[in-house]
Amino acid sequence: MNRLITFFLLLFSCAASAQSGITWNMAMDVSGNAYGNMHPRVTMDRSGNPMLVWGRMSDESVFFSKWNGTSFSTPVKLNPEGLTIATASWMGPDIASHGDTVYVVVKQTPEMSDQNHIYIMNSYNAGASFSEPVRVDFIADSLSRFPTVTTDNEGNPIVAFMKFNSSFLDSRWVIAKSNDFGNTFATDIKASGWGGSNDVCDCCPGAIVSNGNSSAMLYRDNNSNIRDTWAGISNDNAASFSSGFNADNHNWMLMSCPSSGPDGVIIGDTLYSVFMNGSGSYRNYLSKSSISNSTNNSVSDLTGTITGLSQQNYPRISNSGNEAAIVWRQTVSGVSQLPILFTNDINNGFPATFDTVDVGNITNTDVALSDGKIFVVWQDDNSGTIKYRSGNYTPLFTNTKVISESTFTIYPNPASEIIAIQFDNADVNRELAVINVLGEVVFTQNSASSKVNVNASSLPAGIYFLQVKSDNHIFTQKFVKK
C-alpha cells in the first residue's frame, strides 16, 4: 500500500508541475511530531516567507514557526503558562499578517465558560517576537469561541468570533476591531443573522476577510437546521455590517452539526468563498458574489465527477493580487488526497481539472501565496506532523517592490527625544506617520531619504507605531517613548 501511495504521489507531482505552472519542491515536515499538528494555518510576511501556527492537543498549546529561507524555524510556544488554548483538527488558532505585522488569535479553554476569553498576540517584526496576550472579547457573562482574524488596509486587526448568551443560546457572529494595532478593541458588533434566523451553526468555524473598505463575515447559518453558508457585508471598514446574503443556495437540511466552515477572499468587488455542502453528497463549492450589490452571482462545485470520490471537506483559498489557489481534502477510493486549483489570473477563472499536492493521511490543510511563491501546509495524522510543500510560479503581473526587513530600522528604541528611521535605499518615496495607541496620527512626513529623524520630545511617554507607506505597501513597527 505504501508503495502504491508513493507511486501515485510521484505521478501527481509530475502532473502538478505540468498543468498548474507551479514547479514544486518535495514535501517535508515542518517539525517533529512532539510539537503536535492540529489545524495548521499559514500566512506570508512582506518578503514572501510563510509563517505558521497550529495547536497541540496534549497540553492545549499554540505554536509558531517561520520559514528562514531553507526550512522552518524551531517551533515557539506562544501561549504563556496558565493560558490553555482550544484546538482540534477542525478548529483552532488563526493567523493574519499585513507586511511584517502579524496577529495570532486564540480561544482559552474550557471554551464554554464566561471566565475564559479570546486573546490576540501581536508581532511587529515578522514573528521574531510576540506581545503578551491581549483580551479581545469584553462581553460580560456571554460565551465565545472560534476566533478568526484579518487586517484592514492600515494593518489593524479585525477579529471575528462566535458569541452566545450565558445559557449557550443565541449563537451569532460578531466583529471586534482595533484601531491601535491590536492593543485595544472596540465593543463587538453583530455581523450575522441575515438568513431569517438569529442562530448560526454553533459548531462551525467562520472566516472574516477584508480588502480596502470591504469586509465579509463568512459563516454557516442554522435556519431551522438549514445549514447553508452566508456572508455578512461591511462597506465601511468593518464599522458596521448592514447587509448579507446566501452565498450557498443549496438549502442543506441537517439535524446534526457538520463542524466545517467557509473561507474566502475579496478581489476587487468580488467575494470568492469556498465551503463544503452536504446536500446530496459532501462536496466543496466555489461561490462568486458582488460586494457592492450584496448578491450571489454563481455557485459551482470545485471538481466534476470523480470515480471513487466519497467526500470533500475543509476548503481554503488564498490570493496574491489576481493570483489565487484553492486547496482541500478529499477521499477517493479510500485514499485521502490534497488537491489544488491554481490560477495566475482569477478573472479567467480556475482550471477545469485539479492537481494533487499530496496523498496519504490528509486531515486539514491551508495555502498562502505571494509574488511567485506558494506554500501548502497540512495536518498529517499518520506521522503526527505538519507537512508542507513549496513551489514557484511565474506571476502574470509584476508587483511593486517591497522594502526588505533589513532596510527598515528604528533607533534608539525606547527613545527619549530623537527617533531615527534608517533605510538602505533612498530612491523610494515614503509617507511616514506616528500613531498612538488610540489610533490617532500624531506626526506625518514625506521623504525619499535613506535616513529620517523624528522629533519625539513632545510626545507623552507610551507605546507608538511608526507606519511607513511605500507604493501599495504599508509597513508598521512599534516603538516606545520614554
Asked whether the predicted pLDDT for residue 14 surpasses 80, the reply is no
Instruction: Mark whether 299 and 421 lie in a shared domain.
Output: no
Q: What is the pLDDT of residue 19?
A: 54
- Taking the C-alpha atoms of residue 43 and residue 52, their distance in angstroms, rounded to an integer, is 7
Q: Within a domain: residue 417?
A: yes
What CATH number did the domain enclosing 301 receive? 2.120.10.10
Residue 397 lies in a domain: no
Residue 11 shares a structural domain with residue 69: yes
Domain boundary among 392, 416, 432: 392
Q: Are residues 86 and 113 in the same domain?
A: yes
**CA angle at 222 for the pair 216 and 226, rounded to the nearest 5°:** 110
Checking if the pLDDT of 427 tops 60, the result is: yes
* Pick from 87, 43, 42: nearest CA to 62: 87
Give residue 200's pLDDT: 96
Average pLDDT value for the chain: 90
User: Do 289 and 417 lie in a common domain?
Assistant: no
CATH code of 459's domain: 2.60.40.3080
Question: Is residue 88 domain-resident?
Answer: yes
Please tell me whether residues 177 and 321 are part of one structural domain.
yes
Which positions ≥6 away from 203 have C-beta within 8 Å?
Answer: 257, 258, 259
- Return d(Cα 390, Cα 378) in angstroms, integer: 12
- Residues 231-275 pLDDT 10s: 999 999 999 999 999 999 999 999 999 999 999 999 999 999 999
- What is the C-alpha separation between 305 and 294, in angstroms, rounded? 31
**Within a domain: residue 461?**
yes
Segment 457-467 shows an average pLDDT of 86
The pLDDT of residue 177: 97
What lies within 8 Å, CB to CB, of 310 at 6+ separation is 331, 332, 334
Residue that finishes a domain, picked among 326, 361, 392:
392
- Whether residue 302 has pLDDT greater than 50: yes
Please tell me the total count of domains within the chain. 2
| Residue 398 in domain | no
- pLDDT at 471 exceeding the cut of 70: no
Q: Which domain holds residue 425?
A: 405-481
Q: Is the pLDDT of residue 1 over 60?
A: no
Band (421; pLDDT cuts 50, 70, 90): confident
Is 19 inside any structural domain? Answer: yes
| Same domain, residue pair 434 and 314 | no
Mean pLDDT on 314-318? 98
The reply to whether 360 and 436 lie within a common domain is no
- Distance between CA atoms of 317 and 286, rounded to whole angstroms? 10
Q: For the CA atoms of 26, 389, 330, 20, what is the dihedral angle to 10 degrees?
A: -90
Q: Does a structural domain hold residue 77?
A: yes
Report the alpha-carbon distance of residue 180 to residue 465 in Å, rounded.
8
DSSP assignment of 122-154, as one string?
EESSTTSS-PPPEE----TT-EEEEEEEEE-TT
Q: Is the pLDDT of residue 405 over 60?
A: no
Query: Do 437 and 292 share a structural domain?
Result: no
Residues 228 and 168 in one domain: yes
The per-residue pLDDT for range 347-387, each reduced to its tens digit, is 999 999 999 999 988 999 999 999 899 999 999 999 999 99
Sign of CA dihedral 219, 222, 228, 233: negative
Grid coordinates of 155 = 494593518
In eight-state DSSP terms, residue 108 is: B
User: Is 278 inside any structural domain?
Assistant: yes
pLDDT given for residue 2 in this prediction = 46
Q: Which residue, of 365, 392, 419, is where some domain finishes?
A: 392
- Region 163-180: mean pLDDT is 94
| Residues 282-300: tens digit of each pLDDT | 999 999 999 999 999 999 9
pLDDT over 90 for what percent of the chain? 70
Q: Are residues 426 and 357 both part of a single domain? A: no
For residues 383 and 411, membership in a common domain is answered with no
Q: What is the pLDDT of residue 7?
A: 43
How does DSSP assign 162-215, residue by residue?
EEE-TTS-S-EEEEEE-SSTTS--PPPEE----SS-S-B-TT---EEEEETTEE
For residue 17, what pLDDT is reported? 44
User: Is pLDDT of 5 > 50?
Assistant: no
The confidence score (pLDDT) of residue 67 equals 95
Residues 317 and 360 in one domain: yes
SS3 34: helix
Kindly state the percentage of the chain with pLDDT values over 70: 91
Q: Which stretch of 151-165, 251-265, 382-396, 454-468 has the lowest confidence by average pLDDT?
A: 454-468
